[in-house]
C-alpha cells in the first residue's frame, strides 16, 4: 500500500482527535457501501472538494494561489492514486483522452519509488494527462491528491525542473479535513500507488498490452 505523504502526515497527527478521525471513518463507511469504482472515486473527489471549498475561498488563498485550472506548476511530480482513481482515469482514456503511452511506460519503470521517479528528466516526468498546451485533460476527474496540492506564491516555485525545488520555499496551504478524507479512501482501497504504475498495470491487465506498447504517439 502506498499512501500520499502529506495526507499520511496529517492523518498520523490528527487521527487521535475525534472531529478529524470521524472524517476518515465517514469516507470509509460510505465507500464500503458502493460497488462501482467510478462511483467511489467520484464520491471521494466530491468530499475532498467540499472540504477544500472553505479553505480555498479564503481571501488570501484565493488571491495569492496560482493553483487553478490551467496551472501545471506541480505536474511533473509523482502522484499517488487509489485503485478507484486509476479506474476512473482509465475510463477517460477509453472514452476521449489521448495520452503519451511511451512516457507512461518510462514513468512506470520507477514503480512507487519516488527517488527513482525523480531520476527521470523533467520532461520525462510530465504527467501523461497534460495536453499540448500543458492543460490537464482530466481536470474534473484529477486525483484527490492533485485537488489538495495548493500553494501561496507563484507557479514557478512549484517547479521540479533541475534543482529549483531545493532552492525555493513552498508555502503549502494546509487542508487537514480534505487530507483525512483522502486517507479514508486510501485505507479502504485494496491497492494504491504511483499514478503511472497503477495505470500501466491495469492497462496491461485489461488485455491492452499491444495498445499500450504500440499505439501511435
pLDDT at 208: 52
Tell me: pLDDT of 40 over 90. yes
Is residue 40 within 8 Å of residue 31, measured between CB atoms? Answer: yes
Q: Indicate whether 110 pLDDT > 70.
A: yes
What pLDDT does residue 211 have?
Answer: 46
CB atoms within 10 A of CB 180: 27
pLDDT tens digit sequence for 166-186: 555 667 889 999 999 999 999
Question: Other CB atoms closer than 10 Å to residue 15's CB: what's the count?
Answer: 14
Domain ranges of the chain: 5-214
User: What's the CA gap between 99 and 215, in Å, rounded?
Assistant: 10
Could you tell me the three cell numbers for 115?
527517488
How many CB atoms are closer than 10 A to CB 38? 15
pLDDT in tens, 66-90: 788 888 888 999 999 999 999 999 9
**Burial class (CB within 10 angstroms; exposed 0-12, middle 13-18, buried 19+) of 64:** middle
Question: What global pTM score does this model have?
Answer: 0.89
Residues 6+ apart with CB under 8 A from 121: none
Q: Say if residue 217's pLDDT is above 60.
A: no
pLDDT of residue 168: 56
Helices (runs of H) and strands (runs of E) counted in the chain: 12, 4
Q: Which residue is it, cell 506564491?
A: 153
CB 79 within 8 A of CB 195: yes
Q: In this predicted model, what pLDDT tens digit does every residue of 2-28 receive, in sequence order?
A: 899 999 999 999 999 999 999 999 999
pLDDT tier at 64, thresholds 50, 70, 90:
confident
Amino acid at each position: 500500500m502506498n499512501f500520499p505523504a502529506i495526507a499520511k502526515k496529517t492523518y498520523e497527527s490528527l487521527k487521535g482527535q475525534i472531529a478529524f478521525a470521524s472524517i476518515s471513518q465517514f469516507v470509509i463507511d460510505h465507500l464500503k457501501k458502493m460497488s462501482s469504482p467510478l462511483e467511489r472515486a467520484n464520491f471521494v473527489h466530491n468530499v475532498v472538494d467540499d472540504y477544500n471549498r472553505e479553505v480555498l475561498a479564503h481571501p488570501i488563498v484565493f488571491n495569492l494561489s496560482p493553483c487553478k485550472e490551467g496551472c501545471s506548476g506541480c505536474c511533473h511530480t509523482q502522484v499517488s492514486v487509489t485503485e478507484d482513481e486509476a479506474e476512473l482515469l482509465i475510463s477517460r482514456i477509453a472514452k476521449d483522452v489521448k495520452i503519451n503511452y511511451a512516457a507512461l511506460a518510462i514513468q512506470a519503470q520507477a514503480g512507487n519509488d519516488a527517488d527513482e521517479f525523480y531520476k527521470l528528466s523533467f520532461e520525462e516526468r510530465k504527467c501523461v494527462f497534460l495536453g499540448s498546451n500543458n492543460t490537464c485533460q482530466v481536470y474534473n476527474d484529477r486525483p484527490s491528491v492533485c485537488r489538495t496540492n495548493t500553494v501561496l506564491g507563484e507557479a514557478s516555485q512549484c517547479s521540479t525542473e533541475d534543482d529549483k525545488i531545493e532552492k525555493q520555499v513552498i508555502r503549502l496551504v494546509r487542508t487537514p479535513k480534505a487530507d483525512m478524507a483522502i486517507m479514508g479512501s486510501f485505507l479502504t482501497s485494496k491497492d494504491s500507488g504511483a499514478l503511472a504504475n497503477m495505470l500501466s498495470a491495469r492497462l496491461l491487465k485489461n488485455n491492452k498490452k499491444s495498445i499500450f506498447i504500440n499505439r501511435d504517439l
